[in-house]
Structure 1
């Protein structure tokens, strides 16, 4: 099914709403067209285009709720999915935390759509893979990568007058390059809403350079080191921290933002003063939908951390009512203020330290402190007197992003990411931190 216009989508949602006999009804219509090319061992392995459209209907009779999905859109099918949702609602037990769907509100559009991205064709995808493969072969390296481009739309509507429709685009690219003997490995990730901001050649060149430089790694004694975390490395760590910015989990004592006595740490200074992080659906680098798809609430620009202090927490509709607070849409992006220096300039200002390309296989150790364990990989280097001296074997680390953001030496430039462990679009800078805790060596490259 094609990407629907606003008028086409509204005809479907209006029809569904008119069919419902429930006390309230919420309709979500999603469609996407996703192209991809995957390559490994210097050869394309798969390529394709996947199109899908889904309609979700959620209804409520009092506090009894039911939800049903369908991907057919004739009148008979639309009635069928509504009746299925209503039947399920009648059978369901009452939800003690049920909250009514929001009243009509205005969603201010965000710039999530790029014509150039939507126009990506198989030839473009092939060229992304071809350059990476050809350059790797020239350097006697082996490349593997995955490029996807997405064009999609989302429409939301409810029986109280809420309606929103918006199209989105984006590209994602990851590439791993290794030496033929497997002793060196380099990696890169690039994400963008607008493909005009994506340079496949520059990205592949980074992975190739890291692979060439990372062979013959030397063992470095585990311990606490000054570390430069490239943006992708720190983004995957911080994603675990932001999942705890939920008022209920803090108030109920289930996160690092909890205080004794059922209080939370809103307003407390928990981070270095250099740490400023916010969400903004209208940000030019990582625009997101102006509504929270789960709750149909409008998103707003909001500070999460301001000069090191916890500036806001996410209140669900239920918890906001219980605690006398205002609920707003959950953030769709995370933006961290950075500095003006490139990663290379941060390296130049480092007397001794370790450069980390990527953090991987991350697992939670202690939710109360957000203590994480994981591994470095695909390019870890020892820095001495402002220069990369040699590659080092990878480490296992035990570290908390909360501690990490208290030990900042300097921030570099921000980079657009959709972190592997994160539900957010992110802008995260390279970060130089003190006393990063490497606990043991890893033989993996």
Structure 2
């Protein structure tokens, strides 16, 4: 059996085999470990490793260029040539790309970690402390609580090389801890999720205290009809709403009048006040706790991302500043096209995280509860779907606990609801903001993990109907 090739060898072999005008090679080695538990017992654990290789070939086409992208699992050098040939064939068969731009040169690129280093691994041993603490809380709960959950740690080491001379490397750790507790008769459920760069950051004991407190709240059940309620959104719920808002925050769609960011009469809503309070919404690869790649890595083009932009540097990108929309997402090619067409839309490259914060914000979720005269406290959202892209109207369900708060005290649990809201409307109705903290977006955690959000108070949140979901 041929020896497993290193990522650097794969990159060099692919570039050596290339015959088209330009080539970009992305190799990602993934190391994974996970734990699962159910009914107070660890059920499974495992380690996995994988590698994906993507070759992007470009050829001259008309006044621009066409691209072909092919990715698959490649472990040995003997498999590289066929991958390159497939990408080049796809490029020659493609129409000119609307996102075409010169491939990034080393002097234009962002900074990577030491390209010559090997991929970084994780292992089941990363969960030693977490597993020990889980055992403690399971024993302490006895027969009165049932614990369920999942912990995962993934380390992606990505190597990016190109025919222009790029040689970049980035190591991305991504972890999560999801804990669910149910009472003895399963009539109530509470849930907490955490985003972790390393499992050693988990505070299982504190999480168990909070889960237990929420189960106690649920001992009293209160009937409450659908309607509009003052609602406290924890950071995870705000993240789920604004991630969707960020996914649809493309400059091209806005300029063409096809999105909620389009201005009546034409163009984008740049300069409009989207949030009543002076909120900042931004991406920042260097944000502590949610660090991500400081350069563009993309294996597919879309209206707001381009394979031609691989390697471009990423810094802090402000989307909303002081409550006002200041920029939208897009590619280098669209930024040039937009400027030539007379659009006045600042176009920025987005990085793989999202932050919301307000100046001088203080306090946490408990402080918002303590100052509530009457309102609802949510735990999480799920099954979020887009209803209307023009208004960014979303619908979804609450899950794992909705609580009625009166005069600063939680009185008990109410039914779950279906809700209908636009994140942009929610931004207009936020009346109070707590301190920003790293959080795990429950609905989108499989795709978008790195967020930092505050808890917020929202006036008249639309609970459109009741739900049987727990």
Same fold by TM (over 0.5)? yes
User: Retained in 2: the 8 A contact 1:33–1:52?
Assistant: yes
After TM superposition, give the deviation of residue 77 of structure 1 in Å: 2.0
1:333 — aligned with what? 353
Change (3 A) 1:377 1:424: closer
User: Retained in 2: the 8 A contact 1:279–1:332?
Assistant: yes
1:78 — aligned with what? 80
1:133 — aligned with what? 138
The equivalences for 1:368-379 within 5 A come to 368-379=390-401
The equivalences for 1:258-277 within 5 A come to 258-277=262-281
After TM superposition, give the deviation of residue 341 of structure 1 in Å: 0.4
2:223 — aligned with what? 219
**What secondary structure is seen at the aligned counterpart in 1 of 2:25?**
strand
Change (3 A) 1:70 1:223: closer
1:442 — aligned with what? 467
The reply on whether 1:381 has 2:403 as its aligned counterpart is yes
The reply on whether 1:416 has 2:438 as its aligned counterpart is yes
| Cα distance in 2 between the residues matched to 1:307 and 1:94 | 40
1:179 — aligned with what? 183
User: Retained in 2: the 8 A contact 1:39–1:144?
Assistant: yes
1:107 — aligned with what? 110
| Cα distance in 2 between the residues matched to 1:195 and 1:134 | 21
**Gaps (5+ residues) in structure 1?**
none
Change (3 A) 1:440 1:119: closer
1:314 — aligned with what? 329
| Cα distance in 2 between the residues matched to 1:47 and 1:391 | 34
How many residues are paired up? 436
**What secondary structure is seen at the aligned counterpart in 2 of 1:30?**
strand
Cα root mean square deviation, aligned: 2.6
Change (3 A) 1:200 1:224: same
| Cα distance in 1 between the residues matched to 2:237 and 2:143 | 26
| Cα distance in 1 between the residues matched to 2:80 and 2:416 | 55
After TM superposition, give the deviation of residue 332 of structure 1 in Å: 1.4
2:319 — aligned with what? 304
The one-character-per-residue Cα deviations of 1:406-434 (angstroms, maximum 9, x if unpaired) are 11221112221342326351101111111
The one-character-per-residue Cα deviations of 1:112-171 (angstroms, maximum 9, x if unpaired) are xxx9977844644643643453344x2512222110011220111211122210212232
Structure 1-normalised TM-score?
A: 0.90
**What secondary structure is seen at the aligned counterpart in 2 of 1:413?**
coil
The one-character-per-residue Cα deviations of 1:51-100 (angstroms, maximum 9, x if unpaired) are 00111111122234322334334332222322232233333444354334
Structure 2-normalised TM-score?
A: 0.86
The reply on whether 1:392 has 2:414 as its aligned counterpart is yes
1:45 — aligned with what? 43
Change (3 A) 1:38 1:132: farther
2:425 — aligned with what? 403
User: Retained in 2: the 8 A contact 1:179–1:212?
Assistant: no
After TM superposition, give the deviation of residue 36 of structure 1 in Å: 0.6
Change (3 A) 1:427 1:78: same
Change (3 A) 1:265 1:80: same
| Cα distance in 2 between the residues matched to 1:163 and 1:220 | 59
The one-character-per-residue Cα deviations of 1:345-386 (angstroms, maximum 9, x if unpaired) are 111111111111111211222222222221212121111111
User: Retained in 2: the 8 A contact 1:253–1:262?
Assistant: yes
**What secondary structure is seen at the aligned counterpart in 2 of 1:304?**
strand
The one-character-per-residue Cα deviations of 1:211-260 (angstroms, maximum 9, x if unpaired) are 23213421113222111111112211121111122101111112111023
After TM superposition, give the deviation of residue 439 of structure 1 in Å: 1.8
After TM superposition, give the deviation of residue 322 of structure 1 in Å: 1.0
User: Retained in 1: the 8 A contact 2:112–2:168?
Assistant: no
User: Retained in 2: the 8 A contact 1:110–1:282?
Assistant: no
Indicate the larger mover: 341-350 or 42-51. 42-51
After TM superposition, give the deviation of residue 312 of structure 1 in Å: 1.1
The reply on whether 1:90 has 2:92 as its aligned counterpart is yes
After TM superposition, give the deviation of residue 188 of structure 1 in Å: 0.3
2:237 — aligned with what? 233
The one-character-per-residue Cα deviations of 1:250-288 (angstroms, maximum 9, x if unpaired) are 111121110234300011112113311111111112111
